[in-house]
Amino acid sequence: MLRVVETHCIQCCTATPEKILADKLIRTLPENQVFGGKLRIVECVKCGLRYLNPTPDVRDLGHIYNYDVYEDSTNNNPVLMEHFYRTLTQYVPKPQRLIEIGCGTGDFLAWLQSKGIPNVEGVEFADSANRVKYNGPLHVGRMEDIELPEASYDVVLLLNVIEHLSDPQAVLVKIRRMLKPEGVLLLRHPNSDLFFFKPYWLCVEVPKYFMHRRLLKRGKRTGFTIAGFQNQHLFYFDRRAITKMLSSAGLHVEHFSTTDPYNRLRIGRSLKKGNLVEAGIAGIRHALGAVGLGPECLSVATLRH
């Protein structure tokens, strides 16, 4: 059995009242069972930050990561890489030094080198030093513990990583110190507003829960998450929470979007094939992303002047 610890809202820095968002619904999931079913998703009543409480003990974090899966699931597909690159170069047209926190084997960093960025570095919790695909330094360990030079980076990438950090506030403060005066942070994370958006909850999460219960009675494991729950996701961010945390760290949000770049591509491809149903579904997803209900949030943050 893995260990858990009681925590509190790191944004308010006190044991403020909490609202339970998911307890019984996730208690019997396999990834919660290794913690005795004790993990719960809660929301701080004061500031709205969502997080696990109890939360996994940092000493056991290494036991809940499948390194092969995480190292191979980096944002390394052409559509996303081009989308990220196009977004960051709107603010830093010719970055000279860039670091990706949670780089895996560095597929994206290698791609960025091919685009002409001369100095790239990576930070990775898992030791993938023998498998990195880019030419540059790899800093191995928890970002909370690693020391990196201040005022040195044009771009810091934090792509689907902040939800895994045990102290995201401290890491954002560290990133603010690492950025050059005109540098940017490109930040991506799952959209917790989608998980706790009531129509989505009723139409998707509740049916998944009943399917999970049915499979569990048959002695089978479920292949999906409920309420976006993973025991590696220690925090659940929406626009309000991430904007407030960035501001507290001395960073200003210049851009925020939940638009999925794939949907426009799917609309065009489907229309060319004459598949109006698929084009319509992609169109609905694109529209939801435009009003903040896309599955992933992408932010660009700069130093607050």
Q: pLDDT for 173-204, tens place per residue?
A: 999 999 999 999 999 999 998 888 777 777 88
DSSP-based three-state secondary structure for 1: coil
The predicted pLDDT at position 264 comes to 80
Q: Are strands 50-52 and 235-236 parallel, antiparallel or unpaired?
A: antiparallel
The predicted pLDDT at position 178 comes to 98
Query: What's the average model confidence in pLDDT over 118-133?
Result: 82
* Of residues 179, 194, 185, the one with CA closest to residue 162: 185
Tell me the per-residue pLDDT of 22-73, one tens digit each, with 9 for 90 and over: 998 899 888 899 999 999 999 999 989 999 999 999 888 878 876 555 555 4
Query: What's the average model confidence in pLDDT over 116-126?
Result: 92
The predicted pLDDT at position 58 comes to 87
The predicted pLDDT at position 149 comes to 96
Report the percent of the chain where pLDDT is more than 90: 56
74 has a pLDDT exceeding 60: no
Distance (Å, whole) CA 214 – CA 11: 38
Length of the chain: 305
Global confidence as pTM:
0.90
- Which pair of structure tokens corresponds to residue 171? 């890491």
The predicted pLDDT at position 130 comes to 65
Compare 127 and 40 and report the one with higher pLDDT.
40
Tell me the per-residue pLDDT of 220-261, one tens digit each, with 9 for 90 and over: 877 778 888 989 999 999 999 999 999 999 999 999 999 888
pLDDT band at 150; cut points 50, 70, 90: very high
Tokens 């790191």, located at residue:
10
Whether the CB-CB separation of 74 and 158 falls below 8 Å is answered with no
75 has a pLDDT exceeding 70: no
The predicted pLDDT at position 71 comes to 55
Burial class (CB in 10 A: 0-12, 13-18, 19+), 13: exposed
